[in-house]
Structure 1
Amino acid sequence: MTAPVKSSPLGLTVLALLHYRPLHPYGLQQLIKQWGKEQVVNVGQRAGLYRTIERLHAGGLIAVRQTERDQQYPERTVYEVTAEGRAVARQWLEQMLAVPKSEFPVFPAALSNVPMLTPAEALEVLEKRAEHLAAQRTDLEARQAVDAGSGLPRVTLIENEYVHAMVVAEERWVRAVISDLRNGDLTWSPELLAAFAEHYEAPSAD
């Protein structure tokens, strides 16, 4: 009996795409990009996709359909989803949609350590982040404009709506913090932090 395969966004996406037709890894990578799924799953490094495929295959969720041989390309293994893979993909999907997961993204972790910087330094780096978020929002809105004219059903692009909403919300929040830093509503000093540390010092182990 094989061990259960741990769910992952990329694993779910591979299973979902193989619902439509058998594909080789390169075809999967290209389809993910063509459908704009690289906004929500990381396929920048093909090695990660291959590792995911290996896990799904070892777990019995996908199977080898055939091996393609072409003089122009290296030998390619074509995979198809198994009946178990279809069932597991549905379980993963329902779980991911219904239950918020405690994830640990980089930005909140960095915010929790922002007192390492001075308020002026924090203002400078957050201004840079706001610029990146604005550029990302502009790119997403341009993509949405193209998608709107493509005739594709809204449901096939709904993850892009979510990503856009999250970027807009984060940019709004970051700019509000920038405003508080500029006008002094948010500030700190080594003396203030030292007093805080002394007050909340961990009790002795004795």
Structure 2
Amino acid sequence: MTTAPVKSSPLGLTVLVLLHHRPLHPYGIQQLLKQWGKEQVVNVGQRAGLYRTIERLQAGGLIAVRQTERDQQYPERTVYEVTDEGRAVTREWLEQMLAVPKAEFPVFPAALSNMLMLEPDEVTPILERRAAHLADQRAALEHLFTETPPGMPRITLIENEYLLAVLTAEERWLQGVLSDLRDGRLTWSREMLTAFEEASSQAE
């Protein structure tokens, strides 16, 4: 009986990588994700999402039940281990995710594309709030680096290094947009947009 291919996901990849180190039960996986700071790059806030991912990996033959732990202090816990197929798929997913940019659809660009529904003076304070959130996130990431023990290999925090670079770039871009909004270099109105629409229709 053949199993259906499992669709790759950031959480699925991370679970497989953790199980390369040692067999784990779901609670142990969640704790290790947080301990290693992986919640910065994968969504581990909802345990239900982790359980669904584990179910998909098991159904696809990428992980298997190693044993069931029974302890009077805790509910019964199922311990999982990665299979040979899971090891091969882990490498395949990792290479694909590293090498090929994926067409993703994050929330912010979608909101930007519809920003013209608001007036420029409405948008400015909203984007100022985003800039404040970005500054807080950047400060939190910078703090992580100051807390890093001396001699820790750079590779262990490479994802945070990337996130910091992206945050810094977005923050710089956003400050430029805010400056243009405040100075009137970036502006629009219903009349302006209507006139553009009419001109575009006539050009067709």
The residue aligned with 1:96 is: 97
The residue aligned with 1:128 is: 129
Cα distance change of structure 1 residues 184 and 155 upon mapping to structure 2, 3 Å threshold:
same
CA distance in 2, matches of 1:130, 1:202: 39
CA distance in 2, matches of 1:47, 1:201: 49
> Is the counterpart of residue 146 in structure 1 residue 152 in structure 2?
no
CA distance in 1, matches of 2:201, 2:75: 62
Residue 203 of structure 1, CA deviation: 10
How do 1:155-166 and structure 2 match up within 5 A?
155-166=155-166
CA distance in 2, matches of 1:24, 1:56: 14
Identity of aligned residues (%): 73
CA distance in 2, matches of 1:27, 1:187: 52
Query: What letter corresponds to residue 164 of structure 1 in structure 2?
Result: L
Deviation string, structure 1 residues 31-66 (Cα, Å, up to 9, x no partner): 000000000000000000000000000000000000
> Is the counterpart of residue 77 in structure 1 residue 78 in structure 2?
yes
Cα distance change of structure 1 residues 202 and 162 upon mapping to structure 2, 3 Å threshold:
farther
Deviation string, structure 1 residues 63-119 (Cα, Å, up to 9, x no partner): 000000111110000000000000000000000000001100000000000000100
Unpaired segments of 5 or more residues in structure 1?
A: none
CA distance in 1, matches of 2:202, 2:68: 61
How do 1:39-78 and structure 2 match up within 5 A?
39-78=40-79
The residue aligned with 2:168 is: 168
Deviation string, structure 1 residues 106-165 (Cα, Å, up to 9, x no partner): 000000000001001111100000000000000010011112x25321111100100111
The residue aligned with 2:180 is: 180
The residue aligned with 2:190 is: 190
CA distance in 1, matches of 2:74, 2:177: 52
- In the alignment of these two chains, the number of paired residues is 203
Query: What letter corresponds to residue 116 of structure 1 in structure 2?
Result: M
CA distance in 1, matches of 2:76, 2:203: 63
CA distance in 2, matches of 1:52, 1:102: 22
Note the aligned Cα RMSD (angstroms).
1.5
Query: What letter corresponds to residue 71 of structure 1 in structure 2?
Result: Q
Q: What secondary structure is seen at the aligned counterpart in 1 of 2:147?
A: helix
Q: What secondary structure is seen at the aligned counterpart in 2 of 1:10?
A: helix
